[in-house]
Amino acid sequence: METVYTTVKEKMGKTVSVLNSEYSAIRAGRANPAVLDKIRVDYYGTPTPINQMAAVSVAEARILTIQPWDTSTLHTIEKAILASDLGINPQNDGRIIRLMFPQPTEERRRELVKDINKMAEDSRVAIRSIRRDGIDKLKKMEKASEITEDDLKIGEKKLQEFTDKYIKEIDAAASEKEKEVMSV
This prediction's pTM: 0.72
Helices 149-182 and 2-24 pack at an angle, to 10 degrees, of 10
Give CA–CA dist 113/120, Å, rounded.
Answer: 10
Look at residue 38 and tell me whether its pLDDT is greater than 90.
Answer: no
Residue-level pLDDT at 84: 85
Q: Which residue has the higher pLDDT, 115 or 31?
A: 115
Q: Domains in the chain and their CATH numbers?
A: 2-24+105-182 (1.10.132.20), 33-100 (3.30.1360.40)
Residue-level pLDDT at 89: 87
- CA 154 from chain centre, in angstroms, equals 33
Helices 106-143 and 2-24 pack at an angle, to 10 degrees, of 170
DSSP 39: -
Look at residue 27 and tell me whether its pLDDT is greater than 70.
Answer: no
Q: How confident is the model at residue 183 (pLDDT cuts 50, 70, 90)?
A: confident
Look at residue 66 and tell me whether its pLDDT is greater than 80.
Answer: yes
Residue-level pLDDT at 180: 85
Q: How confident is the model at residue 15 (pLDDT cuts 50, 70, 90)?
A: very high
Helices 149-182 and 106-143 pack at an angle, to 10 degrees, of 170
How many C-alpha atoms does 49 have within 13 Å on its Cβ side? 10
In the chain, the percentage of residues whose pLDDT exceeds 70 is 98
